[in-house]
Amino acid sequence: MMNTLLLVTVFLPLFASGLLWFAPKKSKWIHGYGAGVSVVIAALSVVLFWKFESGNPDFQFVTDMDWISSFGIRFSMGMDGLSLVLFVLTSLLTFSAMLCKPDRAQGQIKKYVASLLVLESMILGTFAAMDAFLFYVFWEAMLLPMFLLIGIFGGANRIYATMKFFLYTFFGSIFMLIGMISLYLLYAKQFGHYSTSIADLYQVVTPLKIQLWLCLSFLLAFAVKVPIFPFHTWLPDAHVEAPTAGSVVLAGVLLKMGTYGMLRFVLPLFPMAATVFAPWICGLALIGIVYGAFLAWGQSDMKKIIAYSSVSHMGFIVLGIFSLTHTGISGAVFQMLAHGITTGALFLLIGYIYSQRHTRVIGEYGGIAKVVPKYSAVFFLVLLGSIGLPGLCGFVGEFLIFIGGVASQAFTGWKYVSVAVLGVVLGAGYMLKLYEKVFLGSLDHEENKTLQDLNLRAYVALFLPVVFVFVLGLFPNLVFEKIESSVSRLGEKVSHYKVVRSASLFVDQGEVQ
């Protein structure tokens, strides 16, 4: 029953988008239809969340059947705690994004809604895939609807931003494909038959020299998606040109696909290589944390500030993952949710004010709290969640990442964490500066005096993100009890290799569980 529910949740948006083929181009009900489908998907994902058995490290709601049997490729889907929480995040944020209507959607609302629904289906499939080939299909298929959302409904430089996003992501994915094919062939050589099952690929035994190259091929794909410095340059362009819905899904969910890939593939497949690369990856993460914060501080476009803040915040998540500690990884997973919620909400709020003023330049605002007090209050609340105020969602994950970093044997923990703390201070600074410049002070621009406060559509779109800013901050165990067993199993996989440093080390099959 529940495995069928998972399949329905993944593929219903795709099926619903197909039905739009038969709808007239300018039907007024299309946007409502998309919102209705996204509500159903969100409700189904919540059911899966509550039915998920906490404490069970195995995949649940599993569907496993032959697909391309001659090549060992199976249609295999299910969820563990890591994929579950991101699955729910995707469905909730897509509902909020669906309520945003872009300026360029006039006469093309069918393409807009269909693109969002297909994008949701591909992301959900990525998180639910238990087969490496199926994962790659969903991973790559996600590019097309995102390409259309930015390329058709984006801003003036949307074509440049779209091509940059596509080429960066596709380039990284090629290396991942090479790594997957190599693992596929190594598995066949060691076990006598072909398989693309992720669980089967975990059993492949490789010497460290080979493992380093395979690990690097996956890391490149995931580093681009996160993005880690210096692969981050596509992100600000994509955010600035994307419609509001595109920015919400991009920052809230798509970036998490990169860190999810690190947890699903890099650490369990290449535990030795992960310990070798950890200091270097964490070093790049630290550069991203500080560099992204400094760049955010100097921006005049509100969207660019949030885009560069994402580079900084995702650096914290990568730091937690490659601390290779249970605490750090748990904090990283929690921070994925917190960042997705707060950043998605901030893009919704910026999009709301942009739809009235058609400018995101900070200097065009000032003092608008006098005109839109409810909007200002919600913005401030989400902002506090983003900078990590205790009691709100952003605090818990960062705190655990710092603890895991200090305790890590993968790098000199306290030195790395000391640098990361600078990113927290800078983050609070540029966010509070943004609020002060936009909402406080004198109301100098006449255009701002006619701004409309939050309407019903905006309240509905913001309701769930705002609620979860509080819920995750006050009741973090709702998440931790779901991910605990999965994180523990992942930690066991890498714990034996935390002190591995020599690039000449070889292991035999008996040393790898």
Amino acid at 486: S
pLDDT average per 10 residues of sequence, the chain (513 residues): 88 94 78 93 95 90 90 94 96 94 73 94 97 96 92 87 91 94 94 92 90 95 93 89 91 94 94 91 94 93 93 95 92 96 96 91 92 96 95 94 82 76 92 94 88 93 95 95 91 62 40 37
> With contact defined as beta carbons under 8 Å apart, do 173 and 138 qualify?
no
The C-alpha angle 106, 109, 112, rounded to 5 degrees, equals 120
| pLDDT for the residue 509 | 39
Amino acid at 344: G
Spatial distance between the Cα atoms of 5 and 63, rounded to a whole number of angstroms? 10
Cβ neighbourhood burial of 496 (10 Å; 0-12, 13-18, 19+): middle
The C-alpha angle 406, 411, 412, rounded to 5 degrees, equals 60
Q: What is the pTM of this model?
A: 0.92
Spatial distance between the Cα atoms of 257 and 235, rounded to a whole number of angstroms? 14
Spatial distance between the Cα atoms of 206 and 124, rounded to a whole number of angstroms? 31
- Give me Rg for the CA atoms of the chain: 22
| pLDDT for the residue 410 | 59
**Taking Cα atoms as reference points, which of 277, 269, 281, 260 lies closest to residue 337?**
260
Residue entry with tokens 């062939």:
185
| pLDDT for the residue 418 | 84
Spatial distance between the Cα atoms of 75 and 197, rounded to a whole number of angstroms? 9
| pLDDT for the residue 505 | 41
